[in-house]
Chains A and B, each alone.
Chain A
Amino acid sequence: MSWFSLRRLRALLRKEVIQMRRDRITFAMMIGVPLMQLLLFGFAINNDPKDLPAALVAPTQDRYSRAIVTALEMTGYYRFDHITSSAAEAEALIERGAVSFVVTIPSDFDRRIDKGDNPQILIEADATDPAVASGAISTLGQVASEALLHESGQEAEAADAARSQLEVVVHRRYNPEGVTQYNIVPGLLGVILQMTMVMMTSMALTREVERGTMENLLAMPATGLEIMLGKILPYLGVGAVQVALVLSAAKALFGVPFVGSLWLLLTGVFIFVLSLVLLGYTISTAARTQMQAMQLTFFFFLPSLLLSGFMFPYRGMPVWAQVLGELFPLTHFLRMIRAVMLKGADLTNVSAPMAALVVFVLAYAGIALTRFRRTLD
């Protein structure tokens, strides 16, 4: 007797699909919950995060640029992790999401000040999450001017020039108008999928136990792997329906732009959904009743909502919360989908979140298979 048989899997799948079709609540959840959440979460919860990673592009390290950098760091919004002279390197950093800002001070900055000639600095902000960018940007112009004024205090002439002429150019990247929905709606796809996928699969085994059908199922020659696949694969179909629904609504209702590769996005969504159904199934191997399964699901659901960067900007959270946030597939999914949908990121840019999602898939599958009880003990 083999440990895997397509024929047995087919029997399990057919049974699950019939049961799903006859279960009205499942259908209501499939369609109703995504739509309801999509509308409810139309408004975001804003925040004013601080200590955001930034890159400085300053070919010459003159005293004026040092003064501006110090002043910006004093505001508490900026943390210059990267100082470079290469614009390309800074571009890569913001693309990858390693920094939220790039501050560029041109090479002729000090000469222009000294000549009293219209100095300029450029701030590029990653505005995919507008809440991140807004506070930091609003303080910028004033702080920079004051710094300059102070630095050149002994040279009254130059100071006057600086005060009147410093020009701060702000580029909001990826989401130029700072529309919150652009950030929220892709995230919402993750939250909706997580809610329904985990909840439904977390009852997969407990339902059998509570209805007394587990005894019969275990008495027949189906293996743990077959039962697991039979339970989770149908929900990939449900996930596909939800993805189609939310993405269409994102376009139709909120006009969220979609600049990246659809295939890359769908690949990421697929891996994410796979990790969710496996997580749900893992919960169902641990829970004894459907009630417990429900509670475990919420035990997981709430922190993931708060810590993933969906509700509050990830960078706005204290470090311990960020570390915890890494433990949720949703966190990595949000990075992936925002990068792909709003920034047009390619695979190399989102390889880290993709890899993290794959790790979740493997880990959950491993735990579920080892935890699965082949007996009624």
Chain B
Amino acid sequence: MSTEPAIRVEGLVKRFGDRTVVDHVSMDVNRGQITGFLGPNGSGKTTMIRVMCGLLTADGGTGTVLGYQLGRDTRRIKSEIGYMTQRFSLYEDLTIRENLAFVAGLYGLRPLRKVVDEVLEGLGLSSRQHQLAGALSGGWKQRMALAACVMHKPRLLLLDEPTAGVDPKARRDFWEEIHHLAAGGMTVLVSTHYMDEAERCHFVNYISYGKLVASGTVEEVIAHAGLTTFLLEGEMEKVTAAERMLRGMPGVAETAPFGTSLHVVGRDAAALKDSVQHVAAETGTRMSATETSLEDAFIRFMSEAQDNMA
């Protein structure tokens, strides 16, 4: 098996009118891995994914998907990848079975009936196969959309916020399925806003305002952020008072309350420690050092990107 990545894009640029939505992004998606794709709303995730599956033409940069040239071998790419759109895009006036039969037919799968039966069985959709897709709840729609894009056994799966609006149980089942597929050799690129989902990925890419800000394993991304985090705990009023005091103090970049505790994050470890010690003493809260979470890192990336824009 080649070690070449499933996706490699270099200097990718995409503009809508005079707005640059993807700005010279280079990134790899390694074979057989689950790669998370993160970034705030409007940062260009969907646009990138569309470029990678040939639905949008890039205004600059080059790339290969499964070894095929982006912008040239579009038809080959389309037939060998699976793409689950952010917005439900199957037919609401068709039943689950009819939708899947349609997709299977377009990929030329045979024997049609058997293939559809198997997929329905495999994803636990058999009992609802004759329901109209439009009448399904979010979780079932998502399950059906996943079925539709894995039916032809693609080597690469692009999932655009597949679990938005889906309950925790359905999300867990969904991720189990994704890991199962990856274990079978499928490469997966999945965009998400959920931190717990990002933490389930082998690798994450974080983009902001069309620029790649961080990439690596979850640990690497956290380390790259170079943050120190302290935890302040105590009664609610004390924690609230502590947060108010900390705002704007030297070394403090972000504060985030979690119930009766407060995350305090900063880049300058020494200054941050001084400030937090001072506030802890003033308010009578307990102070401890803790590990920086992925969320802390991302929130930091987001506000730094905003500062850069301003």
Contacts and interface: CB of A to CB of B under 8 A. Distances in A.
Nearest to B145: A216
Contacts of B107: 220-221
Contacts of B50: 215, 376
Interface residues of A, number: 29
B234 interface: no
A286 to B, nearest CB: 20
A220 B94 contact: no
A220 B54 contact: no
Interface stretch (A11-19, A84-92, A292-300): A11-19
A253 B222 CA distance: 82
Interface in B88-126: 88-94, 98, 101-108, 110
Contact of A219 (B55, B57, B98, B105): B55
Interface in B71-90: 74-76, 78-79, 83, 85, 87-90
Interface of B: 50, 53-57, 74-76, 78-79, 83, 85, 87-94, 98, 101-108, 110, 148
Interface stretch (A2-10, A152-160, A344-352): A2-10
A19 to B, nearest CB: 6
Contacts of A11: 101-106
A213 B89 contact: yes
Given A18-B94, A216-B89, A10 B76 contact: no
Q: Is the interface of A mostly helix, strand, loop or mixed?
A: helix
B79 A15 contact: no
A324 to B, nearest CB: 37
B105 A375 contact: no
Contact of B105 (A10, A18, A215): A10
A256 B108 CA distance: 49
A213 B106 contact: no
Contact of A14 (B55, B75, B105): B105
Contacts of B106: 8, 11-12, 220-222
A214 to B, nearest CB: 8
21 contacts: A11-B102, A11-B105, A18-B94, A19-B91, A211-B92, A214-B89, A215-B50, A215-B55, A215-B87, A215-B89, A216-B148, A219-B53, A219-B55, A220-B106, A220-B107, A221-B107, A223-B75, A375-B54, A375-B55, A376-B55, A376-B56
